Amino acid sequence: MTQHPLDRSVLNLEKDFDRLVEENLGAYIYILKYPAPDNRPFYVGKGGGTGKGNKRIIDHFTKARKALKNGSGDLKTKIIHDIWGQGKEVDWVIYKCGEVTNVSDVAEIVESALIQYSTLFLSSQITNKNRGKGDSFLTKEQVLGRASKKVAFENFQSQYIRRPIMLFPIEKGFNKTNSYTEALIRSWKISESNRNLSNAVAIGLIDSISYAALSIQEWRVCDQDTKRYEILPSSEQHESLRYKHFGQILAPVLDYWKYGCGGGGIIFEIQEDRSVIFIRGKNKKAATIRL
């Protein structure tokens, strides 16, 4: 077996979203595809409902990890291994199926799924004016986001205590870049004093769910006219802070957050006694919460 300089067994360690399927997704169709910019699909399957079908996507990666030991596996597994061998993860999307009561409903769901599936790869070639019953494809990040738990004190390990943590709304940036990390990096109207906060961590939120987290090495001007800055990140990883619901922390400054927080984010620190101190945020002095 060919030796690889990276540990392929740590790729696509998806969180178990079994509960999510039961409570939210229901039956679904999923697509395994090559990572961007390729995006070609190489496997289509169905899952959901009750039983083992809930974990169908996760099962593919679990079996592929087991097959790494002997190099066995079908064509689908070998493609997964090839993608992992490049140091990348297999991308996937889910099409959420609606309830059906007759044959016409089934046909409408199939039509909608095919149209939306095609737009994932051939958006410039689809001529349908009616795109079906709405955009129902969910990305990996959206699925895991729906299964996110409330952020707790335990998620903020010792290295985060008394460390500036910045929350930024990244939905608009993501719609432009299709990258959670790129949306978090730029561009923010942040004051000099906040740019000089030492050892800060930036977290990008959409609907209070964290999709990206990175350490701020320094800030760089990206638009001199509007005095906006972008983040130059370090290599530090923050997996414990991704796919978490920050609603409790945002509650005292929610009105300010909803209006875009002036392009400078919400900034807070966690103390040893679990209290949250706001550095930036409307009514920050009056807000006292504990995680």
**pLDDT band at 3; cut points 50, 70, 90:** very low
Query: How buried is residue 195: exposed, middle or buried, by Cβ count under 10 Å (0-12/13-18/19+)?
Result: middle
For residues 6-29, give the mean pLDDT.
81
Instruction: Express each pLDDT in 27-67 by its tens digit.
Output: 888 999 999 888 889 999 888 766 556 788 989 999 999 99
Count Cβ neighbours within 10 Å for each residue of 15-30 and write b for 16 or more, e otherwise: eebeebbeeebebbbb
Residue 188 has pLDDT above 90, yes or no: yes
Each residue of 216-260: pLDDT tens digit? 999 999 988 889 999 999 999 998 999 999 999 999 898 889 888
Q: How far apart are CA 152 and CA 136, in angstroms?
A: 30
Q: Tens digit of pLDDT for each residue in 70-119?
A: 877 899 999 999 999 999 999 999 988 777 788 888 888 788 788 777 77
Render pLDDT for 131-183 as a digit per residue (tens, 0 to 9): 655 557 888 888 888 888 899 999 998 999 999 999 999 999 998 988 899 99
What is the structure's pLDDT at 215?
A: 97
Planar angle of CA 229, 145, 173, nearest 5 degrees: 25
* pLDDT digits 0-9 by tens, 274-291: 999 999 987 665 566 888
The whole-angstrom separation of Cα 37 and Cα 20 is: 29
| Paired tokens of 194 | 């906040």
Cβ proximity of 202 and 231 under 8 Å: yes
Q: State mean pLDDT over 190-202.
A: 96
Task: For residue 233, list its beta bridge partners.
Answer: 216
CA 36 to chain centre: 15
pLDDT-derived band at 123 (thresholds 50, 70, 90) equals low
Res 4 pLDDT > 70: no
User: What phi, psi does 127 have (nearest 5°)?
Assistant: -105, 0
Question: 3-class DSSP state for residue 204?
Answer: strand
Looking at the chain, how many residues does it have? 291
